[in-house]
Amino acid sequence: MATIQQLVGRWRLVESKGFHEYMKEVGVGMALRKVGAMAKPDCIISSDGKNLTIKTESTLKTTQFSCNLGEKFEETTANGRRTQAVCNFTDSALVQHQEWDGKESTITRKLENGKSVVECVMNNVTYIQVYEKVKIPSSFWTGISYEDEQAQFNEQISILLFFSLLCSIIFIINILHASISKC
């Protein structure tokens, strides 16, 4: 039987299914869904048994919330939704329930075969994320290796270039739409 302490640590996303469908159901536009799908976040969970902090880090955005288990709190999600949320640890799972604008979603985090499996559900639309625990390498104490630093830099540049291209396309579409409207 899993405990909340077994979820504590840094977890790296290795697999996801249903991202676009879930984000569409939540109300996220296509452009943000495309950009968000490229993110491969780390999820850092800390808890002392009553207090909980979940930080999600990616090259695109970092979000964090802290709460007391069983108590409602306001959470601003990565896509900007302001929700009323509550987290509980029940049946070997960390369950986070969000409510906003008459809508609701449930995010369940549990351990399966040493991996953190996150299931996000809204209106029977499910998004599954699978995370592996990050082991702190010995290089942590001496600094990041040059190869890792280059790989991170290249990933960040690729994401920035994609986002710039996406913004340019949206800008051109708006100009074309305005030109056609004048005709």
Classified as helix, coil or strand, 59 is: coil
> Has this prediction a pTM greater than 0.85?
no
Measure CA of the first residue to CA of the last residue in the chain; give whole Å. 67
Task: List pLDDT tens digits, range 144-158.
Answer: 655 666 677 778 777
How much is the pLDDT for 168?
86
Using the structure block, give the residue that is written with the tokens 């625990």. Answer: 133
Quick one: pLDDT band at residue 143, thresholds 50, 70, 90? low
Domain 4-133 indexed as CATH 3.40.720.10: no
> What H or E segment, with its residue span, contains residue 134?
none
Please report, for the chain, the start and end positions of each structural domain, with discontinuous segments joined by +.
4-133, 149-181
Q: What are phi and psi of 70, to 5 degrees?
A: 85, -5
pLDDT at 78: 86
In eight-state DSSP terms, residue 38 is: H
Q: Which amino acid is at 58?
A: S
Lowest mean pLDDT among 93-102, 117-126, 174-183: 174-183
Helix (H, G, I), strand (E, B) or coil at 8: coil
pLDDT digits (tens, 9 = 90+) for 167-177: 889 988 988 88
Closest to 54 (Cα-Cα) out of 21, 79, 18, 78: 78
